[in-house]
Copies of this chain bind each other. A is one copy, B any other.
């Protein structure tokens, strides 16, 4: 929850000035990808020369943005006052020092168990969290956290939604000392003496001891004292309490489920805290050797983080092709068809934040609910310049709905369809 040095993968909504960018991390051979991406632009015959140029620029921007991101010298996209995703890890038996952000934070607990406490003017609310919980910490609310596990790291995936329309954000530590430095130390000493009606000596005693950083080791007694859930004990009870409580995404009925995978989803209808943010959260567990249908989100931009497993991801317009492994973050802009495939060896778990979720629809492009099945016979003939029977034969063959048996992956095929 702070500016932590743990493993933090950051990716941004990356749009260029001229063209939508499609991004994914951890592509090993970028030059090759750039070449393929541009080649694909050249193949699209409906594009005129200006559009072709834009498509190629999109490919280049994608690579540049990726390089910038890897060098970490420019964490913020210039062109989108954007949401950002962070992966946060706290070691077993640790305490995360109270802090607040100038951003609304949506978090998903990817691993471990702990307790989050939120501090208000009139009360404190504490909630036990575990793998599968989704929670919103509103901007300005001071929060602290313990990892009560003995062995496991507590891992949170966070979506940061800056309050400012410039997209800049930061965290603020009040309790602290030299490291993390307390914001109190930014004020002059006579201000603090007057504010706290106390002596410089007393202030020095409390605002200079902490030098261990934002995540510190806690004793078993401290852990025990801090993990008792106190959400119910607050002075002015009732209103508001339920809102702040985390939502257990993985205890819901999946929206989609078969042998090849499951999809869990929560939006503002289920969890009111997501309403103002216009965000939905979904968790996909794709069975080893399986895939989800090619589909697109009509309005939402998807920011996805791989939690477990390996696989790959393909997207159209411009064509992006990327291997996925634990910690990979990829972004899918609205209305862009894409597909994700799990490796043969292990399930692929992906957590997704869907931004601009209101009135968003998922439109599947294969399987039983394939939207293209709903096109009239004559329209199929005209569009494909072939017989409707031939089209139907292809479009009706897949009897599953959302998750399918994947391509055999003996060899990691990267060849583009040359059909």
Stretch from A62-70, A106-114, A279-287, A293-301 forming part of the interface with B: A293-301
Beta-carbon contacts under 8 Å, A32-79 to B: 40, 43-48, 50-51, 72-76, 78-79
Q: Does A203 contact B (CB under 8 A)?
A: yes
A340 to B48, CA, bound (A): 35
Given contacts A140-B299, A394-B202, contact A183 B120 (CB under 8 A): no
Given contacts A15-B164, A194-B291, contact A47 B3 (CB under 8 A): yes
Q: Is the CB of B334 within 8 A of A102?
A: yes
Tally of this chain's copies: 3
Q: Is the CB of B175 within 8 A of A120?
A: no
- Nearest to A362 among chain B residues (CB) is B121
Given contacts A45-B179, A386-B205, contact A298 B138 (CB under 8 A): yes
Q: Is the CB of B361 within 8 A of A140?
A: yes
Q: How would residues 171 to 203 of chain A score, 1 for a CB under 8 Å from any chain B CB and 0 otherwise?
A: 011111111110111111111111111101011
Contact for A317 among B124, B172, B202, B375, CB less than 8 A: B172
Q: Is the CB of A166 within 8 A of B15?
A: yes
Q: Does A212 contact B (CB under 8 A)?
A: yes
* Top 6 A-B residue pairs of the complex, sorted by shortest distance between their CB atoms: A140-B298, A175-B383, A186-B316, A102-B335, A190-B407, A45-B179
A-B contact pairs, 29 of them (CB 8 A): A3-B46, A3-B48, A15-B166, A15-B168, A20-B166, A44-B181, A46-B214, A95-B382, A98-B372, A98-B375, A119-B375, A120-B361, A120-B374, A121-B361, A122-B369, A140-B363, A144-B379, A164-B334, A183-B317, A184-B365, A184-B417, A187-B417, A188-B314, A189-B413, A190-B409, A194-B407, A206-B386, A218-B382, A225-B376
Given contacts A15-B166, A187-B339, A203-B417, contact A226 B361 (CB under 8 A): no
Q: How would residues 94 to 133 of chain A score, 1 for a CB under 8 Å from any chain B CB and 0 otherwise?
A: 0101101110000000000000010111111000000000
Q: Does A28 contact B (CB under 8 A)?
A: no
A144 to B379, CA, bound (A): 8
A17 to B120, CA, bound (A): 31
Q: Does A253 contact B (CB under 8 A)?
A: no
Beta-carbon contacts under 8 Å, A354-373 to B: 356, 359, 361, 363-367, 369, 371-372
Q: Is the CB of B314 within 8 A of A140?
A: no
Q: Is the CB of B122 within 8 A of A76?
A: no
Contact for A195 among B51, B165, B294, CB less than 8 A: B294
- Nearest CB in chain B: distance from A20 CB, A: 5
Q: Does A27 contact B (CB under 8 A)?
A: no
Q: Does A252 contact B (CB under 8 A)?
A: no
Q: Is the CB of A19 within 8 A of B176?
A: no
Beta-carbon contacts under 8 Å, A362-419 to B: 363-367, 369, 371-372, 374-386, 390-391, 393-395, 397-399, 404-409, 413-419
Q: Is the CB of A95 within 8 A of B379?
A: yes
Contact for A168 among B19, B101, B166, CB less than 8 A: B19
A385 to B74, CA, bound (A): 34
A352 to B20, CA, bound (A): 28
Q: Does A250 contact B (CB under 8 A)?
A: no
- Nearest to A95 among chain B residues (CB) is B382
Contact for A98 among B78, B210, B379, CB less than 8 A: B379
Contact for A335 among B172, B226, B366, B394, CB less than 8 A: B172
- Nearest to A165 among chain B residues (CB) is B80
Q: Is the CB of A76 within 8 A of B18?
A: yes
Chain B residues with Cβ below 8 Å from A334 are: 102, 139-140, 163-164
Chain B residues with Cβ below 8 Å from A417 are: 184-185, 187-189, 192, 200, 203, 207
Given contacts A140-B334, A168-B18, A195-B398, contact A207 B339 (CB under 8 A): no
A359 to B140, CA, bound (A): 11
A226 to B48, CA, bound (A): 29
